[in-house]
Chains A and B, each alone.
Chain A
Amino acid sequence: MTDTPVFEVRDIRKDYVLGKPGLFGGKLRSLAAVRDVSFTLRRGETVGLVGESGCGKSSLARTVLRLNEPTGGEVRYHGRNILDLPKAEMQKLRRHIQVVFQDPYSSLDPRFTVRRILSEPWQVFPDIVPPARREARVAELLTLVGLNPSDADRYPHQFSGGQRQRIGIARALALEPEVIVCDEAVSALDVSVQAQVVNLLKDLQDKLGLAYLFIAHDLSVVRHISDRVIVMYLGQVVEEGPTDAVFRTPRHPYTVALLSAVPVPDPKQKDRDVIVLEGEVPNPIMPPSGCPFHPRCAHARDLCRQTPPPVREVGDAKVRCHFAGELEPAADLRHLAGPSEPGDRA
């Protein structure tokens, strides 16, 4: 891993305007889906992004890909702000930043053969692979993702979910990108197949030096694949740091609750104390005052209700909490600590 930042996101913000002002004027209402999120992706690095429905992780993905225009902030690719680029320039740059979607059933055109699916990006970017080489390149790509070169003539419906996701990955690789945004790329797959695709993504990263923004709600998968991790709640980053640090000693009460709630495949740990968060994620149109997490936080005090917390640095992590580093986690987190190797006797 070298230290060149390939991709930098600075204070990115995305507001959605809701409806028009009423008959009597009134203020335009808006929803801050992503609020001042920053992160850096280096070559060969994976940044994991976790959070629950509505926390803004998909909005963030769409915004950094410039599929949605951000309201503010910067997205730098090799130091160059891509948000200022005119449309034609942006179009050229897209080959470097690809995306793999969640649903391998709806993201591949059912009428196209795999050959056509993989060659189509070259219609837009003809310089990447000269026409004479394309046939061979399709075969290479298929081999790279663990399929057979002979699969090129088959249609998406002839493949299983895991195989289709491999095709989706091959298509992303066709343009030889440096950054791949994986938006819940393994979430729809069965456990045994999911492991294959996760291993494939890691192999490809080692071979090609790809940088991943890996968005998922499955915390164990994110733990496994990420070098750094970002935890979002209601559009904001509440905790960020090296994966090991965040998963071993989570500091933000929300991260603690999230990690505490994950079911652990080890019956010996089923009696551990688990935090059951009360209530649900608040409506982002009317976020709570002060710290957005305070209505559900066991540690909340008056300060939290009144003042939005600053980002504090605790060890290697950045935590958006007034009391970061001062709180004792209210849960039994031994399932995060050490291996007890269930089922490994075989």
Chain B
Amino acid sequence: MRAMQPYETLDAVPAPLLDIRDLRVSFDTPHGLVKAVGGVSWSLSPGETLGIIGESGSGKSVGLEAIMGLIKSPPGHVSGQVLFDGRDVLTMAERDRRQLRGEKIAMIFQDAMSALNPSLTVGTQIAEVYRLRRKCSQAEAERKAIELMDRVKIPSAKTRVGCYPHEFSGGMCQRVMIATALALNPQILIADEPTTALDVTVQRQIMTLLAELQREDGMALVLITHDLGLVAETVDRAMVMYAGRIVESGPVDALFETPTHPYTRGLIRSMPRLDGASGALHAIGGTPPAAGRMPRGCAFHPRCEQRVDRCLTERPNLRMVAKGQAAACHLAEETRHD
């Protein structure tokens, strides 16, 4: 029940669209059970943009895959609740879950080039879900594919609908994937590092497109990224993950203005600045713990400069430190305004 308390205080928004309660994911491995996500609770309102920040291995992607029902069991174990419109995604029949995916929640990934099937035309792939779900004709599906390609601003959609993924650039492939995700007008789009593999000007195009689509459809967006700049510019609210748990969450302005968890502060200070104002970068020492070798107490303590004895033995819970902002640090209140 430990994780229930922060959940209730964290998100006071009425009737969330997606409501995650104490989500845990672990995997059987030859070295025993390894925890990837340990007790994560959050919610998403209709039309909201939520950012999930974390480095490799922080559990940010695994958590979302669990929500989409993409974790195979065995070896995976998923527990907790994932409530979409009040129904638990984790306990529903696979048929219903399938219905939900695509129709209500869609997902796009980092590497669009490899997520697409190289042997099918982009038109076929964009309209595939639509054709199967809406049971329409080939011609109708192609019309739909062209319409979607227009929406994601792929030039000359009519002639390019018959092209194969290898004929498209990385940015165009990402547009194809977005078109595929939009086919059934989902209410939530989960974007897992959607622009990490792209150049900065192409990244800007894709993020502008996502913002436009969101404005038009009122779709909620979950953006998973390690890029603090992208988070600052795109989302309303963000969560910072470390070693499978949320260490801080809050409105994005507050997170950057008064970052409270030492890890959040460290991340912000370790980024070189475009205006040249950074001296020596304030790197966080050490490396994130490997899954299966979690430190006792606070998982961040081996890298934390302000740790006290308590951090070595007792894991801090996520608790409110300001309006809408929560942090999991024993010293949150004391260090906030130092």
Contact = CB atoms under 8 A, between A and B. Distances in A.
Contacts of A192: 55, 266-267, 270, 283-284, 288
Contacts of A196: 283-285
Given A224-B281, A277-B205, A261 B273 contact: no
Interface residues of A, number: 55
Contacts of A274: 204
B278 to A, nearest CB: 6
B229 to A, nearest CB: 3
Interface in B279-302: 280-285, 287-288, 290
B241 to A, nearest CB: 12
Contacts, number: 162
23 contacts: A52-B202, A160-B290, A190-B226, A191-B228, A193-B55, A195-B284, A258-B201, A261-B200, A261-B201, A263-B204, A263-B229, A264-B232, A267-B257, A268-B253, A269-B232, A270-B232, A274-B204, A276-B201, A280-B172, A342-B268, A343-B258, A346-B259, A346-B265
B204 A265 contact: no
A261 B269 CA distance: 21
Contacts of B338: 346
B199 to A, nearest CB: 4
Contacts of B277: 338-339, 341
Contacts of B172: 280
A339 B202 CA distance: 26
A338 B285 CA distance: 28
Interface string A327-346: 00000000111110111111
B233 A224 contact: no
Closest 4 CB pairs of A and B: A263-B229, A339-B277, A224-B272, A195-B283
A71 interface: no
B156 to A, nearest CB: 12
A52 B199 contact: yes
Interface residues of B, number: 58
A258 B205 CA distance: 12
Contacts of A345: 257-258, 337
Given A191-B55, A199-B280, A343-B256, A265 B272 contact: no
B276 A343 contact: no
Interface in A200-256: 202, 217, 219-221, 223-225, 243-244, 247-248
Contacts of A223: 272-274, 276
Contact of A195 (B228, B232, B265, B271): B271
A344 B277 CA distance: 12
A169 interface: no
Contact of B274 (A191, A225, A247, A342): A247
A266 B277 CA distance: 14
Contacts of B202: 52, 280
A259 interface: yes
B232 A266 contact: yes
B184 interface: no
Contacts of B147: none
B189 to A, nearest CB: 19
B187 to A, nearest CB: 24
Given A195-B282, A345-B258, A53 B252 contact: no
A52 B201 contact: yes
A343 B265 contact: yes
Contacts of B270: 191-192, 194-195
Given A258-B201, A266-B256, A339-B273, A199 B283 contact: yes
A34 interface: no
A202 B280 contact: yes
A130 B253 CA distance: 58
Interface in B191-215: 199-205, 207-208
Contacts of B273: 220, 223-224, 339
A262 interface: yes
Contacts of B258: 343, 345
B65 interface: no
A338 B264 CA distance: 23
A162 interface: yes
A336 B77 CA distance: 47
A243 B288 CA distance: 33
A336 B274 contact: yes
A276 B200 CA distance: 10
Given A161-B56, A190-B226, A53 B199 contact: yes
Most buried by B among A190, A198, A262, A263: A263
A155 B309 CA distance: 34
Given A270-B232, A270-B233, A346-B338, A262 B274 contact: yes
B71 interface: no
Contacts of A163: 287
Given A196-B283, A244-B276, A343-B265, 12 more contacts: A52-B201, A160-B290, A190-B288, A191-B271, A195-B281, A198-B283, A199-B283, A220-B273, A266-B256, A267-B232, A267-B257, A336-B275
A265 B228 CA distance: 5
A324 interface: no
B111 interface: no
B5 interface: no
Contacts of B83: none
A343 B257 contact: yes
Nearest to A224: B272
A160 B204 contact: no
B243 to A, nearest CB: 13
